[in-house]
Structure 1
Amino acid sequence: MAINLLLLQSCSDPDTNTLLDQSRTQLVDFQPPPRPLLTEHEDLVRLIAERVLAGEFKDYVRLRAVCTRWRRITDCPRGRSVVDPRFHPRHWMMLPEGHRLYPGHTRLRGLVRFFNLRTGALATLRLPLFKRHFAMDSVDGLLLLQRDHDMAVRLLHPFTGDVVDLPSLATLRPQLTPLFHPVQERAFMQEIEFLQIMRQVCAAVSFSPDNGVVTAMLAFKSDRVPRVAFATSEDQQWTLSSWETQRPMAQILSHQGKIYFLKACRIWMLDPPQRLRVRSHEEDKTSSLLVLLPPKLIATCPYAEVGPPIYMAECESEILLVARTKDSRFEVRVHRLADLILGRSVPLNSIGGNSLFLWQRGVCVSSKAHPTIAADSVVMMHPSFDYLGQYHLASGTWSMATDGNFLKGPVPSPYTLIHHIYTCCDRFYWNKGEMYCRARYPTWGAKSKWRRLKDSVFHYIVSGRMRRDKYHDDGLDVVRFEPEPGLLIHLVDIKQHVHEIPVIIVGVPAVENLITASN
C-alpha cells in the first residue's frame, strides 16, 4: 500500500513526469543490436548441406526444414530430383510385400514401402502412379516404370514425385520384327515374345543436370534378342543397337550410367550413347545423331583361381566380383573390378562391414540395417542348393542365413527381412509382390489383364511329360508338351478353335511347323 502511494505521489510531481517522458522516449527509440546476417555463413551452410546430401537424401530434407533462410540458400530438390544425381535416393530399395501384393494393389491403398540398405529405416510413401504402372527396374533408388495401356517408360523419384518421360517401348516392335525370320516366329513374336523381351531388362541411366536430358539404356537379358535399346527424354522412339551383346551372359550390372556384361570370365563395359554431329553435304545442314558404340573388353577374371557361378555387385561405389574357387566349391572369393583391370588378383577379406545378397542382381546391405546379417559376408545359394547360406569372408565358413526352405516351396508367412531383401535380387518376383521361390513362377494376379503376356500365354519350362491344365480365369485348355528334356517352349492360344489348340514350339531350328494338339 505504501508503494502504491509513493507511485501516485511521484506521478503527480512535474519533475518526475518529465523524467518518465524522457525514459519513454529513450525506450521507444531503442533498437536492439543487429544480428549477424546469414549471408556471412551461407558458404558454411552450403558446405554442410553438400556433406549431408552426399550421405542421405532424407537427412538433406530435414536440414532444409530447419528454417526458411536455410531453405532459401540451399538447392530445392523439387522439380530437379531426377535429372540431378545429387538428389537420388541411392540407398533406398522398394520392398516387396509378399502375398502377391504388388505396388498399386487395392489392399495397399496406394502405399509402397521402401527400405534403406544402409540404416535399415523404413519409409511408407503414397504413390498413385502404381495404379496404372509397374516397376521394371530400380536405378540409384529411382524407379523405372512402364505404363500399362501404351508401354510408355517413365522414371520416378519416389520421395519427391518428380517424373521424367521416356519413349514408349512399342516403338521397338518394327525394329524387332525383322530379327525373327520364319513366318511362324514372326507371328509368335508379335503376340508373345515382344512383351517378354521388354520385361527382361537391365536399365542404366545417365543424367545431364545442365540441360535436363536423361539418357537411358535397356539391356535385354533374353538370348533371342541380345541387344541394347537406348533413348533420351527428348526422343520420340527407342533405337535398337545394330550389334549384339556377348551371349550367353552370366551377369549384367548397371553402374553410374554404364552397363557391365560378364561372359566366360570376361567383363565388358558399355558406355552411354554419344551425341554426334552429322553434316549433310547435299542439304548443307548439320544434325545430331545418337550413337551407341559396342561394348569393350576391360578385364578378365583369374580363370585358374575361380569358377562359375560368378556374380557382380556394387558395394560402396565399387564393382565387386564374387565367385567360388576351383579348388573347393565351398570357398568364396571376392575381387575388385579395379584390381582386375590392372591385372591384379587380390581377394578381399573385408567389404566394409557390408553384406552382399547375390542372385540375378546384387544388393549391398550394411550390417547396421539388419542385426542378424553378419558383417563382411556373402548371402547366396549354398553349393548344395539346400538352403540360403551366409558365407563369412574372414573365417571362410558357411551358416544358414534364414529358416525355411523356399527353394522347394513357398515359405509361409510371416517372412523375415532376409526373405524381402533376397527377393529384391530377382526383378520378376520383386515387382510382383511375391517372395522368391524357385519352384513357383510369379504372376500378376488381378493386373494380369494388362501385364500378362498377350493372348493367354503360358511360359515355362515343361516338366518332362504331357498333361492338360485348365485356367478358369480365361476358360482355356493349355497342353504342356516337351519333345526333349529341358527344352524351353512356349504354348499360346493364337486362335480359339472348337476341337483343337494351335501350339508353336520355338527354340529348335528343325521344329518350325505349327503343331496341333487335339483337344
Structure 2
Amino acid sequence: MTSDSRDWAALEDGPAGLIADRLLARDVADYLRFRSMCRTWRRCSADPRAHGGLDRRFHPRLWVLLQERLGGTNSRCFLNTTTGQCIQVDLPELRDHYLLAHTPEGLLVLLQQLPQLGNVRLLNPLTRHIIELPPLTSLLPQEKHHVLFHGNIRYFKAWGSGIAYDDSLVVLCFYSLRLLGVAKPGDECWTLVEFDNRLQTSPLMFAGRFYYFSTDGLMVLKTSPPGPPRIEEAARRHMAVSASSSTSHLVDNAGELMMVHRVSSREEGETRWSWRYAMYRVDLGTRTLVRVNSFGGGRALFLGMDCSLSVPVGVFPSGSISSDTIYFKFDLEEWTEVEAYHLSDRSIEPAKFNLDGVVPQPHTLADLLSLSESHSFMISRNLQRKYYMDPFFDATSLRLCTI
C-alpha cells in the first residue's frame, strides 16, 4: 500500500456513520450505494428493511418513474428530478401486480392481480420494502365490485395518493370513481371520505395533505382530531370554473403549491376554440390564489391530466428545455398541436410530428419527460407500441446507470 492510499473500509464507525447520515438526508439512492460498498459501512448505517415502510428517511422522494420499459418487462427507469440522473431498477413485483400510481414520496401503488385481485400495496422501488394495506374491496361499494373483477383497471388510476403528514396514515384516491379512502397498515378496511369531484382536476398530495380543486375552491383533507377525516376549504376560488371547458392542475413546484388553470375559449375574431393557461401560487396562510407569470428558480412544468411534474432546467443539457415553460403530456388534448406554452410572453411552440403522426426520432428530453409513468398513466395503443420499441436514451439527454 502506498503512503497516499487510503483503506476506506477501515474507516471508523463515527466518521462513516456521519457520512451515511448526510447521504441519507440528501438521497436514499446514494445511501444505498454507500451501504453496498462493504460490510463495515453497512454495520455503521441503519438497515432500511429494519424500519417501517412509512419511515420517510428511506423514501426515494427525488425520483420519478419513467414510462419506458428497459430489457425485461419488469425493468424500469427512474429519473432524479434534481440532478437529471437516471437509474435502472428491476421490479419483479410488477410481474403479478398492476401499477396504479407513483406517490410524491417515490413509492409505487400496486394492486395485486388474480387470484388475489384487490390487495393494495405500497412498494419502495429502491429498498424493496412492501407496505400491506386493506383490500380494495373494502373501499369499493358493492355495486362497483364488478368494475374491479371485470379487469377494468383503467378506472383505478390512483394519482393523488400518498402518505399523510403524521407518517401513519395512507391516502388512496380513485378520482374517476369518486372514491377517497384513508387507512393505516394493519387496518382491515379503508375509511371512506366523501368529497366533491365534479370538476376536471388533478388531485395532489402536498406536504402530507391531500388537495383538490372543486366548485367551492381549493379543498384539503384533514385527518387530525377532533373528528373523523373530513374535507375543508384551504383557499378561495376567484375565477370561473366549468366541468366542460376548464381543468385545474395542482403542482408541487419545488416545495411550493401551485395551480394551473386551463380554459378552453375562443376570443373575438377567432374561428376555433383553443386552450389558455393561467398560473397561480397557493398562499395557504391567506387562503388565496395569487396569479404569477413564472415558476421561479429556472424551472419548467410538464403538465398532465392526472398529474404534473416540475423540474429545474439547469440540471439538464443546455437548450433541451426552457424555463417558465409548460410542456404538455400525451394525455392532454392539445399535445397533437402544441408542444410548449411560454409563460413570459404567452407564446405557443407547435408540436413536432412526422408523416406517421408520431414524434420524430431522436426523441428530445421534453418527449421523454412527457412520457413519464408517474404523470401519464394511459397513452394510445399505437403510441405505446411505438415508444416501447424505440431506443430510449440518447447520450446528449440523460445519464443511465444501474442500482
TM-score (norm 2): 0.73
> Aligned ranges for residues 422-437 of structure 1 at < 5 Å?
422-424=370-372, 426-429=375-378, 436-437=379-380
- What is residue 271 of structure 1 aligned with on the other side? 222
- What is residue 351 of structure 1 aligned with on the other side? 296
- What is residue 396 of structure 2 aligned with on the other side? none
Report sequence identity in percent: 24
Q: Does 1:235 align with 2:183?
A: no
Question: Is residue 352–residue 359 contact of structure 2 (8 Å, CA) maintained in 1?
Answer: no
Amino acid at match of 2:290: S
Amino acid at match of 2:205: S
When the two chains are superposed, the root-mean-square deviation of aligned CA atoms in Å is 4.0
- What is residue 390 of structure 2 aligned with on the other side? none
Q: Which has the higher contact order (CA 8 A, sep 6+)?
A: 2
Q: Does 1:54 align with 2:28?
A: no
Q: Which of 48, 56, 63 is residue 77 of structure 1 equivalent to?
A: 48
- What is residue 347 of structure 2 aligned with on the other side? 397
Q: Does 1:311 align with 2:249?
A: yes
Using the TM superposition, name which of 309-318 and 354-363 deviates more.
309-318
Question: Is residue 262–residue 277 contact of structure 2 (8 Å, CA) maintained in 1?
Answer: yes
> Aligned ranges for residues 259-338 of structure 1 at < 5 Å?
259-264=210-215, 266-272=217-223, 292-303=228-239, 308-323=246-261, 332-338=277-283
- What is residue 219 of structure 1 aligned with on the other side? 173
- What is residue 27 of structure 1 aligned with on the other side? none
Q: Does 1:141 align with 2:141?
A: no
Aligned to 1:295, what secondary structure does the other structure show? strand
CA-CA distance at 1:145 after TM superposition: 0.8
- What is residue 127 of structure 1 aligned with on the other side? 91
Question: Is residue 311–residue 321 contact of structure 1 (8 Å, CA) maintained in 2?
Answer: yes
Q: How many residues align?
A: 358
Distance 1:263 1:161, change over 3 A: same
Using the TM superposition, name which of 52-61 and 229-238 deviates more.
52-61
Question: Is residue 409–residue 440 contact of structure 1 (8 Å, CA) maintained in 2?
Answer: no
Distance 1:159 1:340, change over 3 A: same
CA-CA distance at 1:47 after TM superposition: 5.7
Q: Does 1:157 align with 2:102?
A: no
Q: Which of 281, 305, 312 is residue 366 of structure 1 equivalent to?
A: 312
CA-CA distance at 1:359 after TM superposition: 1.6
Amino acid at match of 1:141: G
1:261 and 1:383 mapped to 2: Cα distance? 21
Question: Is residue 172–residue 180 contact of structure 2 (8 Å, CA) maintained in 1?
Answer: yes
Q: Give unmatched runs, 5+ long, in structure 1.
A: 1-36, 181-185, 277-290, 430-435, 444-519
Question: Is residue 142–residue 157 contact of structure 1 (8 Å, CA) maintained in 2?
Answer: yes
- What is residue 256 of structure 1 aligned with on the other side? 207
1:384 and 1:172 mapped to 2: Cα distance? 34
Runs of 4+ in 1 over 6 A off after TM superposition: 304-307, 325-331, 381-385, 439-443
TM-score (norm 1): 0.58
Distance 1:366 1:165, change over 3 A: same
Aligned to 2:128, what secondary structure does the other structure show? coil
> Aligned ranges for residues 78-227 of structure 1 at < 5 Å?
78-80=49-51, 82-97=53-68, 108=72, 110-139=74-103, 140-149=105-114, 150=116, 151-173=118-140, 175-177=141-143, 192=150, 197-199=155-157, 202-206=160-164, 214-222=168-176, 225-227=177-179
Aligned to 1:78, what secondary structure does the other structure show? helix
Higher alpha-carbon Rg: 1
Distance 1:48 1:198, change over 3 A: same
